[in-house]
Structure 1
């Protein structure tokens, strides 16, 4: 557990839900958030914010006494709920009120009044879940195993159409999405105990040096520091 008391929870239909809090007697804490293709909806007493998808490292500052409850949408699943394409919020931290108007204020008030804000946010978001673009699972699985051209051919669409739909669903073009998915897969393997060379190979990197370069590019620090 991090100094913020960050903890993740299962949430059917979502990647997860999570909560974090920093004691009033603690020092301010800066968490480095790295690209994962996901979008987070984060509640705090000041309101609800939409985060991501990110293309590079983003610092997230918590101050003494801060508390956050959030839900995380898996890649490609947020736009039907938020009502905007994912590239409209790429690399952004956007007040939900900018997207939903007064409905966002009412949701924030309901979450604040609930005994368990995280559970209340999860329940509210699950009621709003809608099917994602049917292209989403095919693109995610296809890019893990093959090239952008292979994915487009398998879907029976042009690479230009694939890019347009990928931007709307994921916030990234397919090549960037592939980089992010590969990066996250390698990190999961390394955190599970796989040696860095083996994690790099299994995730699809040419070698460990290629993995190290991508980590510096996407996360802004060496892989061992990140781990």
Structure 2
């Protein structure tokens, strides 16, 4: 699952040996927390749960886990790739997976997907084996466009799309065209998602909503409230309280 997570008993993550990626595990408990939304973060994930390998595409809105993902005691393991990194690994443009959860067999050959699923299913440590599978695939894939890392860094720093394009020596239309297959949407949407993540991190650290809005790059607190509601489906206070 993609999205911003707060540490909890049912969710754990650690840095992956794949550059910039994170390995995470979540176990459904049967409680109300299972259905908490997964928030947009610009990332894409390769996921495994017993008998199934699938991909979470880049989200433009909060994703609510489905019943098949909420079986109490059942683990979901994921590798979350930094923005722009997964399409080269998957061999699929990000915009084709936007707001989708797609079976790996629909993206790669059915035989390869089945072989990899069985390999992880049979492992004593599915987390380590899923990471090994991803590392093997990544080693054979073309590396991501190096420009993408600069785009993400610039937008994460709060710079405008226009400034980002100018620093890279391309125009806004070219930046948009290169962003779609890499991030799943244009740079304005990516900037909005990354700004949301900045704001949530600040607010969770105890910063006031007014100061969070100013530091994260919103026009004012009302702008912050609107964006949070539009991107996550719930008010900021409810989101942080949950």
Range into which the TM-score falls when normalised by the shorter chain: over 0.9
Whole-angstrom CA distance in 2 between matches of 1:21 and 1:146: 37
Cα distance in 1 for partners of 2:13, 2:44 equals 15
Superposition map of 1:149-168 within 5 A: 149-168=162-181
Q: CA RMSD in A?
A: 1.6
Q: Distance in 2 between matches of 1:55 and 1:18?
A: 21
Structure 1 runs (4+) greater than 6 angstroms displaced: none
Say yes or no: does 1:138 pair with 2:150. yes
Instruction: Provide the C-alpha distance between the structure 1 equivalents of 2:146 and 2:152, rounded to a whole number of angstroms.
Output: 11
Give yes or no for contact 2:158–2:195 (8 Å, CA) kept in 1: no
- Residues 57 and 97 of structure 2 are in contact (CA less than 8 Å); yes or no, is this contact kept in structure 1? yes
State the TM-score, normalized to the length of structure 1: 0.93
What residue in structure 1 maps to residue 60 of structure 2?
Answer: 55
1:120 paired residue number: 129
* 1:99 counterpart residue number: 107
User: Which residue in 1 is equivalent to 2:25?
Assistant: 19
The count of residues paired between Structure 1 and Structure 2 equals: 224
Q: 1:170 aligns to what?
A: 183
1:65 deviation in Å? 3.7
Query: 1:2 deviation in Å?
Result: 4.3
Other structure's SS at 1:100 match = coil
Judging by fraction of residues, say which structure has more strand. Answer: 1
Structure 2 gaps of 5+ residues are 1-6
Question: Which residue of structure 1 lines up, in the alignment, with residue 203 of structure 2?
Answer: 190
The corresponding residue for 1:213 is 226
| Residues 210 and 221, structure 2, Cα contact 8 Å, conserved in 1 | yes
Q: Structure 1: any 5+ residue segments left out of the alignment?
A: none
SS in 1 for 2:182: helix
Distance 1:203 1:165 in 2: 25
User: CA separation in 2, counterparts of 1:104 and 1:194?
Assistant: 45
In the alignment, the residues of structure 1 paired with residue 27 and residue 203 of structure 2 have an alpha-carbon distance, to the nearest angstrom, of: 27
Q: How far apart are 1:27 and its partner, in Å?
A: 4.9
d(CA) in 1 for partners of 2:57, 2:36: 15
